[in-house]
Every structure is written in C-alpha cells, then in structure tokens.
Structure 1
Amino acid sequence: MIADERPGTWLVWTEEHPLEAEPDALFAHLYGADGAPAVWLDSASQAYGSGRYSLMGAPEGPRDHVLAFWAADGRLAVDGQPAGTGHDLWRLVGERLDRNPSEAPAGLPFAGGYVGAVGYGVKSVGARPRSDAPDAQLAHLSRFLVLDHLVSRLHVVATGPASDEAEARAWIERTVDRIAHVRPLPRPAAPVRAGAAATSVTRDRYLDDLAAVRAWLRAGDSYEACYTYSLRFASDEAPFDVYRRLRRTNPAPYASYLRLDGRDVLSCSPERYLAVTSSGWAETKPIKGTARREADPASDREAARALAADPKTRSENLMIVDLLRNDLGRVCAPGTVTVPRLMAVESYATVHQLVTSVRGRLLPRRAAAVHAAEALFPPGSMTGAPKRRTVELLDGLEAAARGLYSGVIGAFSRCGAVDLAVVIRTAVVSDGLVEIGTGGAITIESDPESEADETVAKATPLLQAFGRTHPFEARRGRAGA
C-alpha cells in the first residue's frame, strides 16, 4: 500500500546545468533501454508556443511507486501488489498531491507528482469494460529531470519532506556525475518490413458501422461521433528502439515514451488535452482537421488553405469547441472561458492541423487541476457530441475496447499544475503484441470511403516505424484529426 505521508509542504532541491546530451541518449544512459519503470514526456517538436520542456524520470525515490488501476471495479495495485477495490482514481491522485504540495522552482512546469497514462475506460459515462491490462498506470516521481529546450538547460530535481534533504542532494550529485558520461547513440536502424497488421474490423465492417453512425446522426441521437478501431501485430523489436525511430520521422510536441510494469507506450500525439498552470489557468487545444504536407511549396500552401476552408472540417471543429467550452465552464469561474484561437492552421513536419484553443480560470478548490482533468474526461475530440449519449452509442458499436487509446498521457504536479495530451498516434506494446488505435469524427456530411482512408493515414506513421502496413486499401487524400 502507498505510505500514508504526514500532511505538509514538500521541499524542492535542484541543480541546473547545460543541456548537452541528446534526450534519447540521456534517457537510455540513466534509465536503460528496457527493464524497470521509467517515463519520458518528450517535446520532440517545438512550435506554436508548445514543446519547451521535456520531463524524464523513474520511481526511484524513497516515496516513489507505480499505481495500476482497473476501472470496472476500482481495483488498485501499488508496485504490483493488490491494494483493494472500490477506489476512485481521480480522487486518489488529487488527495495525495494536495496532502503534500510543493512549489515548482521558477520557470519549471513540474514539482514532482504522478506521470503516466489514464485510458479511455476510466470514463464516468457509458460502459467500463473489464480488462486484464490496467486502465491507468501512473508513476510517482520525486526524482526527475526537466529539459528546457528553449535555452538548452537541464534541471536535476528532487522533492520530498525536509527529512529527505541529505538523500535528495546525494541523488542529485550522483545523477549529475552520471550525466557527464552520456555518450551519443547510433542512428536508429531502418525497420524490417513485416507485412500488414490485423484490424479489429474489416473495411466492409467499418463501412457498415459508419452507416449505423450516420443513422444516429439523421435521427438526431448525435451530432458528431468519433468511431474508432484497432490494429494489432506481433513485434520482437525493442520498443525503445522503435520509439527513437518514431520521434525522428514524426516528431510531435506532446510525444512520450512510457515503460510501466510490462507495458511500453510509444506516442507521437499532436494534441493537448489539458494544461493547467499552478496559478489556475486552464487550456485545452482540440484538433479537428488534418491534411498531409506537400513537397511542392505552392501545393503545400493550397493544402493548408483548403483545410482551413473545408466546411465539414470546420463543422467538426466547431462542435467539439462548443462541447469543450461547456466542459470547462463547469469547473471555471463565470465569464473566464474564452476562445483566443479558433480553427488556426498549425503546420508540422508531415501535416497541417486545424487547432482551436479554449481557456478559462479554474474555480478555487482542493486539487482543482485534477478535478478539471476529470471533468473534461474522456477527451471530447475522441467522443463526439453530445458526449454522454454518443459515448453510450459508440460503446455498443465498436468492435474492441479502446484501452489507453483516446485517454490521456502526461503529468499531475504537486504545484497544482497538470499537462496532459490526448492518446492518439500511439502504440501500446505488451509482451511483444502491439496495439494501435485509429479512427475519426463522423458527421452527416462524411463520405465513408474517405473516412476509411483517413484512418489509414493516421495510423501509417506508427505502422511504418514497426515496418508494418495497413490492410485497408487507401486512396491518397485528406487525413483526419
């Protein structure tokens, strides 16, 4: 069971040094390419005000642990040991962080806390399917690194009660010494071609299911629904090696690599679920609308222009923005929820995306940031609108449980901040079996064949990192969000 800490503020000890090593080499040197739990929130791309900081660490402090949670019965395990049933994950995390708050050093986004993934099954609406794999896994970190990519600085950080000071400073000294011996890693090898993945639905079943979704829309049961399916295949390649390949070919501002008790998560997510500052300002940045980059500059500009003007894409984006304004409005002070950027085109290495920012100031309450993360969950961009009824309909239609896909990955900090990404463009590896979720928003204007092709486009970068292909025959076209 988790140690019952005495209430009180935790201290933060830190040393700052130049950031000279490549992040992947730093992670491999300190935490290994496989083995014990370790996490890396990897800002592999810095653009549009995002991606300044990366965070990496392992639960190696005297009070650190890994939580595993099963939503169906509230079952909890701590470091692999059963810790009872009937738990509420959000309440547990919020209470533990609130019991021992700490103040982040000036300019840093994290002051210790929980880092990991909360899967779609933790939702409070619709069904909570039983699963052998945990619906959420969170590592508690009191020893970690913060990489500031803007000014190329590395912060070695330890947190804990005052009684931990001697051990914390000794850990910092040891870690700084180890960092001095980091050596570059060789360039990731090209993947070995291994054929097509298996899907949870055939293309014909996919088209039939979309017909069912469109019937809901015509009946007025839903206005927009995010239908998903999964791809699976075996791989004997080290997940960390695949992640290194993925972050080179498809860098993303909210990328991550998690290694948590038998499961590796490789994510190149481009979408922010929720960021909350320690002062209580919250922001969510839903994506609805994605188009491939073109090699020819004129064609590339036209692709971005067409994306911004596409009526279907704008309709998808607007419906999700309205949903998220409502979700944020339930936890924010009246009159503070605004939309400072509406359907702006952001261009990355391989895609243009249509992104909106919704912001508000949280109402003061205990564990306000964790409460906000719960209130918005699951991500509106991965459900549709209205959320409750659409989730119920999707639960009855989709062929496989989503698992971690459509949930969130990120950090819950003791300073009152959170920084979470939507689990999209993500592979989950367990015992050599790889699972990738894909899907897209369906509206009354959707063309089923084009929607099928869009799901292929979104899964392709991950499949290519493993040397795999998608079994659906895809036409070249617009890629969905």
Structure 2
Amino acid sequence: MFKFLNPKQKGYPASLEFRKIPASKITPLILCESFNAPVLLESAFLKTGKGRFSILILKEAFRVTQENQKISLIHEDFNHTLQDSQNFLQILETLRNLAPTPQNLPQDLPLPLGGVGYLGYEFFSQIESIQFKNPSLYDCYDNAFIFGRDFAIFDHFYESLYLISVTYQDECESHNLNQRLEGIIQKLENLQPTQESSKNYTSEIISKDKQSYYTHMVTTLKEEIYKGNLLQCVPSQSMQIKSNLPPLKAYMNLRTNNPSPYMYYYNFGHFQIIGSSPEVLIKLESLDEKTAKLTLRPIAGTRKRGMNEIEDSRLEEELIHNEKENAEHLMLLDLGRNDIGKVAIGGSVKVTQEKVIEKYAKVMHLVSEVEGIMDLQTHKKDDALLAAFPAGTVSGAPKIQAIKTIESLEEHKRGIYAGAIGYFTQSGDMNFAIAIRTAIYQNGIYYLQAGAGIVYDSIPKEEYLETKNKMLSLVEAIMGENNGK
C-alpha cells in the first residue's frame, strides 16, 4: 500500500541496497527456476553468442495493469483501481518517479526500476481515435508492467551478478533490504542442480490451417494498394498449440534454437509470455540532461534459411536483389525515419545502417537502423514511444490507414502480438522490442502469431508461407524439431 492511496498511513522513503558477487557457477535460468521469477530478459546473437546482460526480477513489488478502461495497482495484499484521469503511460511515469535513484552502481547496468512489461497492440487507441472491436483469443491484460522488489542482473563480460533490493517512495510497509539480500545470497549458496524431468510432454496444433483465409486477405490488400488506399500492409495469422510443456522449458528451447537480441520470459500468473524478438521498436538513451539518443531498426524483407551454406548464400543474394523486398523495405525505412522525425531535433535523423542482412536460426532479414537526437526540453521521453508505436513493420503505410484495414480484415484482437515489450529505467530511458516471434501460454494452449508485408506485387501463397516460417522457431521450441516441420 502507498501513502497516496491511504494518506493516514505512514510512508517510508525510497531506498536501494545491492551486493555484487561472482556469477561463474550461477546461470539466469537456474535463478529463474529456483526463485520462480516473474521476469527474465536476455540477449543473444547467432554468431557471437550471449549478450552482455541478463535481467531478472526475482520478487515482484507490485504491478500496474489495464483492462479496457480500468487501470489497477496490484500487490499481493491488495488490488486497487486507480480512479485517476491520467492515461496508462502517465501512471507508469508517476510510479517510476517513486523508485530510488541508483547510486554506486555501474552507469551502464540496465536496471529496470521504471517497470518491465508490455503495451498491447490495441494501445494505439490511446494514441489515435481508433476503436478495436474484435474479440480476444486469450484472457490477458491489455497493458501490464511489473515493478520489482528484488532484482538479479548478470554482467556476463565480467562474470558478475548484481543482487539489488529496493523500496519505493511512500510505501506504507518497511523492508529490511540488507536482510532480503542476505536471504537471497544464502539461498544461492544452497542451490542444488535441478534434475532433468523424465516426463513426456505432448503437443499438437489445434488451430485449423488458414491458407485460404490468409491468401484472401492478401488479395484484398493488393486491391486496396492498387486503388491507392495503401502503400503496404502487414496482415497476420495465428496458430494455437495444445501442450503440457511448461513455458519456462519452452523458453529454454527457444533461446537455444533462435538466439535473438530480445529474449524474454514473463510469468503473470494466469498467463505466461515467451519470445525471441529480432526487432527493436524504440530505444532511448539519455546523453545528458537535455538530450537523448533514439534508435529503431526496421526489419522488412524475409527469406527462410538454407539447408546448407550454398543454398543459404543463394537465398541471401536473392533477398538482397529482390525488387519487391527492397521496395517494401524502403517504404518501411521511410516510415521509421518519419516516426523518429516526429520527436527528433531537425537534421539529427540519420540512417546508420541500410539493408544489411541479419541471419537467425530459421529466417534471414533485411535490416536498417535509424537514429535521431531528441531535445528533452521540448519533448517528454514517453513521446518517443508514442511516435514509434506500433511499428510500421507490423502495421504498414500509411500507418493509420493500414491499422484500420487490418482491424477490418483480421478476426481477433492482436493483444500482445505486435505491441511493445521491454522496460523503463527510473529516469524514463527505455528499451522496447516489437512483440514478434512471441507466444502466450494460457490454460494449456500456446498462442502464436506472425505477419507478412504485402505490397502491390505480393504473391499470396508466398506471403502465407512467410508467416509460417516466422513461427517455425516457436513451433519447434514447443513441439520439437521433427514435429515443427
């Protein structure tokens, strides 16, 4: 409970304590499993291996959720509906301002004190006056962020583990942070290697094949493009897999078979999220008190990976020189420049990488990178997220018309798929991926979804197969390689 919810209660000041210990014998997955952690964030790359940092929330302090218009502050002891006219991002900002300011920690340590979570695709209705009326496939929050009590951050370069415990300004309950940290360290010292389960897991695809449904959408969109109503659009299709494979085990498989810059496991209790997204939506890093660097990396243009090096090289050359894929990529690169340009200082937007090939386990992509500088005296940091959301690479161009068209064609709300997933720091800096290559697990069913960019010369069957290829890593993580093909 916070003092602002009950002014008669005593409020305590924000505080932070940490310990730095060797991490040579501890892994993020062991910690996640042993502490039943609600959040694990990692990075990895196919060529270079794991990224520098892994981030865990070992213990949740509270969460902020939104369902329809209802915004709730949820703690293990209470569930309070916030009767405030502020929007969801404003409430997140208010709460992250209650977090302690990190001191005596490395400046580059990614500490997500401003909340870790997601904005669903339909959050766009809070940016533009668009109504989303399609039914949902699953029962999850529209938007949700977890604020941590205890954190574990691995610095893999130095084989160090930072254990951090915090209290938030005006909490009505006191916490002995040093005692919490000693308890965590003692638990780490007594950790026993987990035994591999001999249980047989079963999985089966229970959704119907949607080739005719998807190719019909592509044909309809090509007509809209021919009429001049759209330049490009990204329809998606979903898949459901019934499985008793625990989500953390599915995540373990996914991080092995599809290492990506953004890998994540979330446990919200009544549903879980696993993902390995290749694409940043928006990254904001403060340069000083007055300016911040913005980065986004549009991905558009896809081919499956080859069966051998010769075929892989042939497919790479085909992608690089394909007129349709290049046209699609340049459209979305321009949209990305325009998105950053809404909030960047005039003349600061630049393309730092253009149409480079990035290879993942099952697919390869054409990727560009756009950077810009934002003036923090004229814009709030959240403005960068609002400008980029949702990504053009999962909606289309012109963006608003593409989103309206997708809503009219697709059968269900997208929910978490194609939204933003990541975190804020205490200062409001942010790092968000696009929620693609992502599965939601609820009531024994994994929900997958993928889209393809449609332009005037798209071939419907090929676009359908592209969506299947994009889901392949998730299918194999859940069902096994032989069943995933």
- Aligned counterpart, 1:477: none
CA contact (8 A) 1:110 1:417 kept: no
Q: Deviations over 1:22-50 (max 9, x none)?
A: 22112111226xxxxx1111224376899
Give matches, 1:39-188, under 5 Å. 39-45=39-45, 51-60=51-60, 64-70=61-67, 72-79=68-75, 81-84=79-82, 87-98=86-97, 100=99, 102-103=101-102, 105-106=105-106, 107-110=108-111, 112-123=113-124, 124-125=127-128, 126-129=130-133, 132-160=139-167, 167-186=176-195
Return the letter of the residue paired with 1:113: G
Q: Does 1:27 align with 2:27?
A: no
Q: RMSD in angstroms over aligned alpha carbons?
A: 3.2
Work out whether 1:271 is the aligned partner of 2:279: yes
Report how many aligned residue pairs link the two structures.
Answer: 463
The aligned residue for residue 435 of structure 2 is 423
Q: Per-residue deviation at 1:114?
A: 0.3
In structure 2, what is the Cα distance between the partners aligned to 1:450 and 1:67? 41
State which drifts further: 436-445 or 289-298.
289-298
Tell me how far 1:425 sits from its aligned partner. Answer: 0.8
Question: Match of 1:205?
Answer: 213
Indicate the larger mover: 212-221 or 310-319: 310-319
When residues 8 and 313 of structure 1 are mapped into structure 2, their CA distance, relative to the original with a 3 A threshold, is farther
Quick one: structure 1 residues 46 and 196, their matched pair in 2 at CA, closer, same or farther if it must change by over 3 Å?
A: closer
In structure 1, how many angstroms separate the alpha carbons of the residues matched to 2:44 and 2:196? 16
- Structure 1, 46-55 or 348-357: larger mean CA deviation: 46-55
Deviation of the 1:276 alpha carbon: 1.2
Looking at structure 2, the residues matched to 374 and 468 of structure 1 have their Cα atoms a distance apart, in angstroms, of 38
Instruction: Select the residue among 447, 463, 475 that pairs with 1:435.
Output: 447
User: What is the deviation of 1:369?
Assistant: 3.0
Shift of 1:239: 1.5
How much does 1:190 deviate? 9.7
**AA partner of residue 197 (structure 1):** I
> Is the Cα–Cα contact under 8 Å of residues 71 and 88 in structure 2 kept in the other structure?
no
3-12 vs 413-422, which deviates more?
3-12
Distance 1:29 1:48 in 2: 28
In structure 2, relative to structure 1, the CA distance for the partners of 1:81 and 1:189 (3 Å cut) is: same
Provide the rounded CA distance (Å) in 2 between the counterparts of 1:191 and 1:437.
26
Partners of 1:15 and 1:310 in 2: CA distance: 53
- Which amino acid counterpart does residue 275 of structure 2 have in structure 1? S
> TM-score w.r.t. structure 2 length?
0.86
Q: Following the alignment from structure 2 to structure 1, what is the Cα–Cα distance between the partners of residues 116 and 98?
A: 17
* Cα distance in 1, alignment partners of residues 192 and 377 from structure 2: 46
Instruction: Mark the runs of 5 or more structure 1 residues left unpaired by the alignment.
Output: 33-37, 475-481
Letter of the structure 2 residue corresponding to residue 253 of structure 1: P
3-state SS of the aligned residue for 1:198?
Answer: coil
Alignment of 1:359-398 (within 5 A): 359-365=371-377, 368-398=380-410
Q: How far does residue 11 in structure 1 lie from its aligned partner after superposition?
A: 5.0
- Matches of 1:458 and 1:274 in 2, distance apart? 21
Question: Is 1:255 aligned to 2:263, yes or no?
Answer: yes
SS at match of 2:35: helix
The amino acid that maps onto 1:412 is: F
Q: Give the letter for the 2:132 counterpart.
A: R
Aligned to 1:314: 326
Instruction: In structure 1, give the amino acid aligned to 2:400.
Output: R
Partner SS for 1:290: strand
Question: Which of residues 365, 369, 375 in structure 2 aligns to 1:357?
Answer: 369
Return the offset for 1:162.
8.8
Q: Deviations 1:324-380 (Å, cap 9, x if unpaired)? A: 111111122222111101111122334322211111122215983333112211122
Aligned partner of residue 441 in structure 1, secondary structure: coil
TM-score of the aligned structures, taking structure 1 as reference length:
0.87
SS of corresponding position for 2:417: coil
Q: Structure 2, unaligned stretches of length 5 or more?
A: none
Deviation at 1:67, TM superposition (A): 1.6
Cα distance in 2 for residues equivalent to 1:363 and 1:47: 36
1:285 to partner: Cα distance: 1.1
Letter in 2 for 1:452: Y
- Letter matched to residue 151 of structure 2: F
Deviation at 1:59, TM superposition (A): 4.2
Q: Hey, what does 1:334 align to over in structure 2?
A: 346
